[in-house]
Copies of this chain bind each other. A is one copy, B any other.
Amino acid sequence: MPGINEVAELAGVSTATVSRALSGNGHVSSATRQRVLTAAKTLGYVVSSNASSLATGRTKNVGVVIPFLSRWFFSSVIEGAESALLSHGYDLTLYNLGGGGDERRSVFEHFLLRKRVDAVIAISLELTPGEVGRLLAMNKPIVGVGGPLPGVRTLSIDDVEVARLATEHLLSLGHRAIAHIGGDPASETDFHLPTNRRVGYELALQAEGISPDPELFHVGDFTIEGGYRAAKQLLGQPRKRPTAVFAASDEMAIGTILAARDMGLTVPRDVSVIGIDDHELSAFFGLSTIAQFPALQGQMAVEILMEELHPSARHAGAPHIPLPYELIVRGSTARPVSR
Contacts and interface: CB of A to CB of B under 8 A. Distances in A.
Interface of A: 1, 46-51, 53-54, 59, 61, 69-72, 75-76, 78-79, 82-83, 86, 91-96, 98-99, 103, 106-107, 110-111, 113-116, 138, 224-225, 228, 261, 280-281, 284
A25 to B, nearest CB: 18
Given A93-B91, A103-B86, A70 B61 contact: no
27 contacts: A46-B110, A46-B113, A48-B54, A49-B115, A50-B53, A50-B59, A51-B54, A54-B54, A69-B78, A69-B82, A70-B75, A70-B280, A71-B75, A75-B75, A82-B95, A82-B96, A83-B96, A83-B98, A83-B103, A86-B99, A86-B111, A91-B93, A91-B111, A92-B94, A93-B93, A224-B281, A224-B284
Given A86-B106, A228-B284, A116 B91 contact: yes
Nearest to A225: B284
Given A48-B115, A70-B79, A94 B96 contact: no
A93 to B, nearest CB: 5
Contacts of A51: 54
A79 B83 contact: no
A86 B97 CA distance: 10
A221 to B, nearest CB: 12
Given A113-B46, A138-B1, A281-B224, A82 B94 contact: yes
B75 A114 contact: no
Contact of A46 (B69, B95, B114): B114
Nearest to A109: B46
Contacts of A48: 54, 114-115
Nearest to A106: B86
Given A46-B114, A86-B95, 17 more contacts: A47-B114, A48-B54, A50-B50, A50-B53, A54-B54, A70-B76, A70-B79, A82-B95, A83-B96, A83-B98, A86-B103, A86-B106, A86-B111, A91-B111, A93-B93, A93-B94, A224-B281
A82 B129 CA distance: 26
Contacts of A116: 49-50, 61, 91
A280 B91 CA distance: 30
A286 B69 CA distance: 24
A134 to B, nearest CB: 8
A150 B107 CA distance: 36
A99 B72 CA distance: 17
Most buried by B among A50, A59, A93, A103: A50
Closest 6 CB pairs between A and B?
Answer: A70-B75, A49-B114, A50-B53, A48-B115, A46-B113, A50-B54
A96 B79 contact: yes
Contacts of A95: 82, 86
Nearest to A112: B46
